[in-house]
Amino acid sequence: MTIINIFTENIFPDWKLNEKEIIDKTRKMLEFFISTLKNESCLQNYEYESVTLDIVFCDSKKTHELNRDYRNKDKPADIITFAIFADDDMRFVFDGDINLGEIVIALDKVIEGVNRDISNSKNKEQELFFLISHGLMHLLGFDHQTEDEYNFVINEQRKALESIEYDKI
């Protein structure tokens, strides 16, 4: 069984997150992805005992800075991923651990998006877990440059969200 290490940091003062719940549900989604997609992900052909990732919760001012400084995009984002293992040409396993990278989520953008949703189809916690599942797919090396890739990513996200009973969040 793979050990999954998830570290979170919330620097957004306006949303008091239940970080234990977020870690538990993120771990469950990542376990799902590893069990179903390992042979298609950046983890294939690697021996490891654990995987590690970080999630930072911030505001859109911070994602704007990160987008500008690291992605040459001068606008805020609801989510940014830094896929260390998937994007590195020199992938390495250190002491049996793979550092997948970091997910950065602008919580004010999550709230704005839910408030803009006329149908009220998602609450802010559901939107948050949707974004986390999307970030996990990127950390595992999946992208969505084509419509087929996008449909694949979204379909796999839905399955992972079902594993955490997303509809009951």
CATH number at residue 162: 3.40.390.30
Q: Which amino acid is at 7?
A: F
pLDDT in tens, 27-51: 999 999 999 999 999 999 999 999 9
Give the residue numbers spanning the domain of 55. Answer: 3-168
Supply φ then ψ for residue 100, to 5 degrees. Answer: -70, -35
Contacts 24+ apart (CB under 8 A), 111-115: 111/14, 111/15, 113/78
Number of domains in the chain: 1
Give the β-pairing of 79-83 and 97-106.
antiparallel
- The answer, yes or no, to whether residue 118 has pLDDT greater than 70, is no
Q: Write down the pLDDT at residue 120.
A: 66
pLDDT one-digit tens code per residue, 13-25: 999 999 999 999 9
